[in-house]
Amino acid sequence: MGRMKRSGPTFTSKVKDMQMFFGLNVTGVLDVDTVEVMKSPRCGVPDVEEYSHIQPTRWNKNVITYSIGRYTRDLPRSTVDSLVESAFSIWARASGLTFVKSNTRNADIMVEFVTYAHGDLYPFDGPSGTLAHAFGPGSGVGGDTHFDDDEHWTAGGTGFNLFVVAAHEFGHALGLKHSRNPDSLMYPTYKSSHPANLLSREDVANINTLYSRARGRQSHFPRYDWSSQYNQWMSGSLFPRLLQNKCSPDMTFDAVSTLGDATFFFRERYLWIKHNEQFDIKEGPITNFMPKIETSIDAAFWVPRRSTAYLIHESMFWTVKGSLVKGKPRALSHFGFPVWVQEVDAAVHIVKTGRTLFFMHDIYWSYNENRRVMDFGYPKYINEDFPGINSTINAAVYKDGFIYFFLGPQVYKYDYTQKLVVAVEKANSWLGC
């Protein structure tokens, strides 16, 4: 189990610890306020242990496997898979850790939906009360995460949002303790409303203290600070290095989109602009061309009849008309996504159908640009509707009646009417490599 039984403090001192943690009057007595906190839906990682300041443990590796054993009856398996993957990706983005889904029972983190006594000495209690619990890193049950299947698990605002609860529990599975800060994802009690960015600054700082960024994965380029006052000074001196890199054999793009008569290629905070009728390529930090955008871009698409591009970063997007960024970024939910969708991998607008397709992991949505609503029956599986596209899509662009899917360092030319891959080439061949 990795949890030693020990002769602990008295009941009164445990109650005092709990009252102190939640900022209640420290009396050692189960008064109304204390009982109310105890009854609220919350994480079941044994609380009093969490109120002490035990040194947290961590995984001694950066690639962590997980597997889902028993699923809930409340949601389709594909939805559970996506919600769990999204919850892990919250921590992946903050820490540089990589999470890989495994189909074996030997994964580091086993995810299970169970009820009452389920073999780990911490039985669940039926509807409400304890929602889930997770064990800290370690062998055996270390990292394992259990959800009470007597709760009503949802992907939206009713019942208990699986994405939010899973993200909290995976924090424990990575070694984080409960936080006293109500804005923290690691606060013990469940809140039905939550911000677009689930992690507070404290959460990000804590996961990075535990898993130093220096141990994380290396980017193809060093990450430069493109703060606007230095852009013009830095970009000139960095060009030679980046020009070499664009032709490296493993070059990938985060997003690709046409904008007017040009094609934009986004990579981290850098941008290449290729004008369709010219051979020269403009390049530099994104802020050189769009000073309002100081982040990377995850997905981008162009709607020609509006002469408008949409640039997406995590749960927000910018609208670009001409070469100008219009107004402030807006929430991705504007397109009608369910609340658990906090990012997309790629997006592409199909002029022929008037639809914009949004891709995330192994599923995709279809958005009707005329009616400005999501089409009914989505999400659907990518590999069922796009045979031959079998891995995560980094970027997508529609040109001359074909969709071009960027998968890692390759680009697949896809015939949308015949549902067929008709050619494969290197992604950076588009930049003259």
Annotated binding-site positions: 43, 74, 108, 118, 120, 125-126, 128, 133, 142, 144, 146, 148-149, 151, 168, 172, 178, 186, 254, 298, 300, 347
DSSP state letter for 246: H
Binding residues for Ca(2+) are 74, 108, 125-126, 128, 142, 144, 148-149, 151, 254, 298, 300, 347
Give the containing element (helix H, strand E) for 275.
Answer: strand 270-275
Closest among 118, 105, 11 to 66, alpha carbons compared: 105
Look up 169 and say whether it is catalytic.
yes
**What is residue 418's three-state secondary structure?**
coil
Partner residues linked to 317 by β-bridges: 312, 330
Binding residues for Zn(2+) are 43, 118, 120, 133, 146, 168, 172, 178, 186
Which of 50, 85, 112, 169 is labelled catalytic? 169
**What is residue 223's three-state secondary structure?**
coil
Partner residues linked to 154 by β-bridges: 161
At residue 146, what are phi and psi to the nearest 5 degrees?
A: -120, 135
Q: How many C-beta neighbours within 10 Å does residue 137 have?
A: 21
* Strand pairing class (255-259; 262-267): antiparallel
Give me the residue label for tokens 């050619």: 423
Q: How far apart are CA 331 and CA 327, in angstroms?
A: 13
Q: How far apart are CA 17 and CA 48, in angstroms?
A: 7
Angstrom CA distances, 170 to 143, 175, 181, 273, stand at: 8, 9, 18, 40
Q: How far apart are CA 364 and CA 350, in angstroms?
A: 14
Which active-site residues does the annotation give? 169
